Amino acid sequence: MKGNWGKIIPLLMLILLTLPMSGCAKVVSANPVAQFTGDEAFGELKTLRREVQLLNLINGLELTQEQMEFILEKAKEAQALREEHLSQNQEEINQTIEILTELKEALMQGENIPEELKQRFREIEGQNREKQREYEEQINGIAEEIKGILEDHQLYALKEYVPCVIPPETGTRIGQAKGSTPGEQLLWRMRRMPYSRFQEFKERIAEKMLEKLKRHLPPGSQLDEEAEKERLVKLLEEAYTLSDVDFNLKKDELLEEIMKPYELPKPPDSLLRKIRIHLLDPHIIPLLEEKLGK
């Protein structure tokens, strides 16, 4: 839903991220750091950066020992599942490589792709999709288990987490500051209006929103524009009268309510996605083992 605000409210945003180098204390290690070159250096840099990002997340979530042990167990389970998935699909992978090689050769010669080759490709792609679907369901099940043992404040922190090496000094302490969506920016600007000005312009704001939103109605839909305008005005009034704290907590819910009647693709559970990407990352296994003294 949030991604569609970029189409609904044309805004240009430029985000400049810099990493200041001055003022940083020089770290002196008792042990000399190993020297790397070429691809080896790039690989080491990538791994270390990822490990630091994950440690920021682990520390920022303030996980209990029991939670860390559970996540470690599930991360190992997910890794075993990945390896099994790759092993079981090796035959299909080799077949796909063979078919794609034949496709490439035909195209390089400027030939039409034979129907038999097209059919083989469709069949192997169908098999790959089905196995991938089964794998995704299993991984999502593991992510759901982790979601179930996290506290509400941890889930909120995870939802807001953006990977970083140095956490910001203010705001969330476990990730890079996250930019607001165009929809949030619209509501924030409206909330900064003086009360009298908001009362004067709230219906006009709702009318402008309605004009944009109508473009996203399902084909053939009928909309009672007066009733919809009234609904939007009520939601704008609710957004305006909330305290800053309550607005921060409810803004996503308000935006979803505004978009409810319109056909917009619903994103997958963002928390499950975050858990899969971060807490089931294979790099987290040795980090948790070290923290737990295993």
pLDDT value of residue 171: 47
**Phi, psi at residue 180, to the nearest 5°?**
-80, 155
Say yes or no to pLDDT of 251 above 70: yes
What is the mean predicted confidence (pLDDT) over 180-186? 73
pLDDT value of residue 2: 47
pLDDT value of residue 28: 42
Residue 288 banded pLDDT, cuts 50, 70, 90: very high
The phi-psi region of residue 38 (left if phi > 0; otherwise alpha if psi is between -120 and 50; otherwise beta) is left
Give the Cα-Cα-Cα angle 77, 79, 84 (nearest 5 degrees). 95
Predicted confidence (pLDDT) per residue in 17-39, tens digit: 333 333 333 344 445 556 667 77
Tokens of 292: 């737990």
pLDDT value of residue 24: 35
Residue 275 banded pLDDT, cuts 50, 70, 90: very high
pLDDT value of residue 16: 30
Say yes or no to pLDDT of 179 above 60: no
CB 47 within 8 A of CB 140: no
**Which of 19, 14, 81 has the alpha carbon at shortest distance from 49?**
19
**Which of 249, 284, 12, 277 has the alpha carbon at shortest distance from 161?**
277
Residue 191 banded pLDDT, cuts 50, 70, 90: very high
Predicted confidence (pLDDT) per residue in 96-152, tens digit: 999 999 999 999 999 888 999 999 988 988 888 888 889 999 999 999 999 999 998
What is the mean predicted confidence (pLDDT) over 65-94? 94
Residue 230 banded pLDDT, cuts 50, 70, 90: very high
Most confident of 70-84, 213-227, 254-268: 70-84
**Which of 7, 70, 45, 38 has the alpha carbon at shortest distance from 284?**
70
pLDDT value of residue 29: 44
Most confident of 16-25, 71-80, 215-224, 244-253: 71-80
Percent of all residues in the chain with a pLDDT value above 70, rounded to a whole number: 78
**Phi, psi at residue 259, to the nearest 5°?**
-85, -5
Q: Which residue has the higher pLDDT, 35 or 170?
A: 35
Residue 89 banded pLDDT, cuts 50, 70, 90: confident
pLDDT value of residue 83: 94
What's the mean pLDDT when you consider all of the chain?
81
User: What is this structure's pTM?
Assistant: 0.55
- Residue 232's Cβ-count burial label (10 Å; 0-12, 13-18, 19+) is buried
Q: Which residue has the higher pLDDT, 131 or 287?
A: 287
Distance of alpha carbon 41 from alpha carbon 43, whole angstroms: 5
